[in-house]
Amino acid sequence: MINIVLFQLTGYLYFILIVAFILHIKSSMKKRKMEQEIEHQKLYTGTLKESLNALTGFKHEYFNTIQVIAGLIEIKEYDRLKAYVDKLDTEAVAIKTAETININFKKIPELYALMISKKTAAEATGIKFDISIQDDIDIGSCSIVDYCRMIGILLDNAIDATKKCKGEDRYVEFEIVKYGKKLATRIENGTNTDDIDIDKIFMQGFSTKSKPSGEGLYQIMNIIEKYKKRGCLIELDTFIENHVFTQTFRI
C-alpha cells in the first residue's frame, strides 16, 4: 500500500515538474519574442530618425534653392540661371534613391529602410553611394536585427571616413553576393590615409573619429562572438590598401 502511494506521489511530482518545465519554456519563448520585437522597434526608430534628419536637411536645401532661383530671375541673370538649373538636374539624377535600391532589398523591409536612410545621408554630403545585390538575401540563423546592426555600424564608419576625402575617394560601395553556401556582405570606402591599425580598431574605446565613441566595431565583435557560441560562424575580413578600406563579413 505504501509503495502504491509513493508511486502515485512520484508520478504527481514528475507531472508537476513537466508542467513547470513546459510553462518555463513558454515563458522564455514569450520573453525572447518580446525582446526581438523591442529590438525591431529600436531599429525602426533609429532608421526613422535618420530619415527625418535627412528630410529636414532637404527642406532647408529646397528653400535655399528656391531663393537662389528667385534671386537670379530678379536680377535677370538668365544664363547663370540656366547653368544653375542644369547643375541641379544633374545632381537630382544621382540621388534617385528609391529607384536605385535593388529589388532584393524590398523583400527585407528592415534592411530596405536602413539602406535608403544611409544612401540618402551619404549622397546629401556629396558622397557617391553604390549598391550591388547579385543574389537573394538569406542570412540563415542570424537575426535581421543583428544583421542590420552590423551593416549600420560599418556604413556609419564608412560614411564618416569618406567625408574627410576629396575627389574620387569620396565614395562608398555596398555589395551582397553569395560565395558557395556563404552570404558575403562587403562595404568599401575611400579613405584619406592608409595609416590605420587594423589590429586595434576592434578594441573597446579605440576610435579614429573626431568625436570618438570606440564602441561600434567592438559591438560587431560581440555579435560575432555571440553567434560563435551558438555554432554559427560569422567571418569578418578587414584590410586597407591604396586609400581603399574594405570590410567583408560572411554568414
Instruction: Please report whether residue 160 resides in a domain.
Output: yes
Residue with cell 538668365: 78
Instruction: Please report whether residue 147 resides in a domain.
Output: yes
For the chain, what is the domain count? 1
* CATH number of the domain that residue 202 is part of: 3.30.565.10
Which residues of the chain fall below pLDDT 50? 93-100
Task: Tell me the CB-side half-sphere exposure of residue 123, using CA atoms within 13 A.
Answer: 24
What is the DSSP annotation of 111-124?
A: HHHHHHHHHHHHHH
Instruction: Please report whether residue 144 resides in a domain.
Output: yes
Gap between the Cα atoms of 123 and 243, Å rounded = 20
Residue type, 107: K
Residues near 90 by beta carbon (within 8 Å), at least 6 away in sequence = none
Domain that holds residue 107: 95-250
Q: Tens digits of per-residue pLDDT, 159-174?
A: 999 998 888 889 999 9
Contact 196, 208 (CB under 8 A): yes
For the chain, strand residue ranges (E) read 128-133, 171-179, 182-190, 235-241, 244-250
Instruction: Please report whether residue 89 resides in a domain.
Output: no
- The predicted structure's pLDDT at residue 49: 63
Instruction: Please report whether residue 141 resides in a domain.
Output: yes
- Residue 24, φ and ψ in degrees, nearest 5: -65, -45
Instruction: Please report whether residue 70 resides in a domain.
Output: no
Residues near 40 by beta carbon (within 8 Å), at least 6 away in sequence = 110, 144, 145
Cα 245–Cα 233–Cα 236 angle in degrees, nearest 5: 5
pTM above 0.85, yes or no: no
- The predicted structure's pLDDT at residue 94: 47
Instruction: Please report whether residue 32 resides in a domain.
Output: no
- The predicted structure's pLDDT at residue 179: 81
Instruction: Please report whether residue 115 resides in a domain.
Output: yes
